[in-house]
Amino acid sequence: IVFTEKQEALVKESWEILKQDIPKYSLHFFSQILEIAPAAKDMFSFLRDTDEVPYNNPKLKAHAVKVFKMTCETAIQLREKGKVVVADTTLQYLGSVHLKSGVLDPHFEVVKEALVRTLKEGLGEKYNEEVEGAWSQAYDHLALAIKTEMKQED
């Protein structure tokens, strides 16, 4: 695959912007997941006892940030090496967490759409199809790595 320097720069620049308001964008990201797939709520342990999506929930924030950061990291690797290298232990761990939570392949499209909507919200006028394409490509590679790991586990 080809991942250009421009694409890498777009991903890094947009993360720098969203990073400035983590509570806001992690909540937005998560709310979008639930808007697209309401039933996904029950998979998340930190939401099981609440009706509302909690603002500033430490787990929600930490996990949401990790999704963004890992996608960013994937973009960098795609540009540098043309492939994705996530530490084996990390992948194994994420594979097992998602498998145990009941995550299925179609959910990965839901999370991608939610990620894209969050970028749109955060970037405003700086958002465009090129930005979306760069994030989508990086996300797809990361998602594939996790899905592959999930399939090797059962």
Cα angle value 59/91/32 (rounded, 5°) = 45
If binding is defined by CB under 6 A, does position 40 make contact with ligand HEM?
Answer: yes
If binding is defined by CB under 6 A, does position 86 make contact with ligand HEM?
Answer: no
Task: Give the C-alpha separation, 80 to 40, whole Å.
Answer: 35
User: According to CB under 6 A, which residues from 107 to 146 bind ligand HEM?
Assistant: 107-108, 110-111, 139, 142-143, 146
DSSP characters for 14-73? HHHHHGGGHHHHHHHHHHHHHHH-GGGGGG-GGGTT-SSPPTT-HHHHHHHHHHHHHHHH
CB of 25 to ligand HEM, least distance (A): 15
CB of 60 to ligand HEM, least distance (A): 9
If binding is defined by CB under 6 A, does position 63 make contact with ligand HEM?
Answer: yes
Residues that bind ligand HEM (CB under 6 A): 33, 40, 43-46, 59, 63, 66-67, 70, 94, 97-98, 101, 103, 107-108, 110-111, 139, 142-143, 146
